[in-house]
Amino acid sequence: MRATQTLTRSVLALLLLGIAVSPGTAEAKKKKKVDDVPVVVQPAPPPPDPNAWRATPPTPGAESSWQAPVAETFTLKNGIPVYLVQRPGLPLVSVRLMIEAGRETNPKGKAGLASLTADMLDEGTATRSALQISSDATGLGAELSTSANSDYAEIALDALTGDTLAASLDLLADVALKPKFDSKEFARVQKETLAQLQNLASDPRDIANRQFARQIFGKDHPYGTPSIGDTASVKSLKVADVQAYYKTWYTPANTAIVLSGAISAADAKTMLDARFGAWTKPSIKRPTVAAPATPLKTRVVFIEQKGAVQSILRVGTTGVSRTGPEYWNANLAGTITAGMFSSRINMNLREEHEWSYGAGGGFSDARDFGTFTVRTSVQADKTAEAIDQILIELKAAASKPPADADLKLARDSLLKSLAGNFDTNENTAAAFEQVPDFGLGTDMWQQYVKDANAALPDGIYAAAKGYFAPERQIIVVVGPKTVTIDDKDADGKPIKVDVPVMENVKKLATQDGFEFVGP
């Protein structure tokens, strides 16, 4: 009874407070049921990708038309030919005085004499010391340098036109016509050359290049030794050798001048005649260079480089002259096979097998006798395999005419980059040095385009058959006898493995019937 009364009092109290018990409870339950229904909120769409356009490569535009320049030519009073490419605009001109005095003019046993003589030209004249020559060039805003390559010596002047050009050309003429050949300067330059040779002696690429040239041409051939010479020959040279060499070979009959820049033909002729027109000396005939013998059998020469993890490879044979009838067929065959990024050998070694960062090569441009060379470096443990793949690609190139797509790539590689040869005065002058060097026409770069487009697949195939035979190559390897690599055993555990690099190369040579020469 008491409990009933207590409940009744509680209900009455709630009613007095205005709270409805039963309806409120029902409303709460109703609300709870609504809240139990899941609410799905759609996320906002992501913003547009600002880089989506990168997924669609742009369509190429129309090819721009471009035509290679043609050199003007005139002759100085003493017969020196001059080749000029006018490039108006910036008040600059590049002058290249070329003397036909290459490696073939070195006396027997004096390899490097032509190069050392060229290096001595700017080391003092009858009126200027070496420091004065450098100071005068700087004061005129000019650069003057001397050098020599396989075919010729060169004095290069890059100068401002206008009021200072006459003084810059005076400096060029002083260096070319009145070198002093001081004995102290000779001793210094000779010492620097010997130091350079010492550094090159540890460079595996230079070792490979020297040995390849020696194998192609022979040790007594002028092209069998680089222009710089070798340590023994350079040590034997005297200042009297340089003086006698200059007196014999530096003549107007052996000289040509190439200019590029903001100067007219009339002004160039007047200024050059005033400085070089009175130069006279007896002419001398360039020595005849003997043709190298084509290898009758492939020879593999292995030179050890201790501790190396890569092997430097040179594979190739004798080549063609720049003016020879086979040049363009051979050039395109070499480009397809080794001379561009998409070449067969680069795609094989770099992209397919991943043994190399890259391979290049092709036929050299040479006045007399060039070479065909494949140049690459590969991971040492894959040396024999890489040689085998190079020979496989050479054999494939010599087995049938190139596909139209490959030929188009080769032509594009050679021609579509051609305009870059003429983007500066320096590059333009360098490009036209080939006119006197090889005896080509002043329109040689326009003819270059025509000749590249005229070469046909059958001719390219014939050149490949003649030069790419795997059984008539010279192969030079500079690498380790053995190399240790990381590997895994049958259970997948890491192990070290010694790979006999030289023995693997020797085994390859033996099974293919090649001659092997090793340490």
How far apart, in whole angstroms, are the C-alpha atoms of residue 115 and residue 117? 5
Residue 475, SS3 per DSSP: strand
* 400 Rama class: left (phi>0) / alpha (psi -120 to 50) / beta: beta
HSE-CB of 474 using CA atoms within 13 angstroms = 25
CA R_g for the chain: 37
Interior angle at CA 486, CA 480 and CA 488, nearest 5: 140
- Show pLDDT as tens, one digit a residue, over the chain (519 residues): 444 444 445 544 444 444 444 444 545 455 555 556 677 778 888 888 989 889 898 888 888 888 999 999 999 999 999 999 999 999 999 999 999 998 999 999 999 999 999 999 999 999 999 999 999 999 999 999 999 999 999 999 999 999 999 999 999 999 999 999 999 999 999 999 999 999 999 999 999 999 999 999 998 999 999 999 999 999 999 999 999 999 999 999 999 999 999 999 999 999 999 999 999 988 888 888 899 998 999 999 999 999 999 999 999 999 999 999 999 999 999 999 999 999 999 999 999 999 999 999 999 999 989 999 999 999 999 999 999 999 999 999 999 999 999 999 999 999 999 999 999 999 999 999 999 999 999 999 999 999 999 999 999 999 999 999 999 999 999 999 999 998 888 888 999 999 999 999 999 999 999 999 999
Enumerate domains of the chain plus CATH numbers.
72-276 (3.30.830.10), 299-517 (3.30.830.10)
User: Can you give the pLDDT at residue 17?
Assistant: 47
What does the pLDDT read at residue 21?
Answer: 45
Tokens 């290096």 map to which residue?
Answer: 119
The label of the residue with tokens 């207590």 reads 6
Residues near 400 by beta carbon (within 8 Å), at least 6 away in sequence: 461
Of the candidates 367, 99, 79, 116, the residue with the CA atom closest to the CA atom of residue 248:
99
| Contact partners, residue 76, CB within 8 Å, separation at least 6 | 82, 252, 257, 269, 272, 273, 276, 277
Q: What is the pTM of this model?
A: 0.85
The C-alpha atoms of residue 168 and residue 259 are separated, in whole angstroms, by 14
Q: Which helix (H) or strand (E) holds 268?
A: helix 265-276
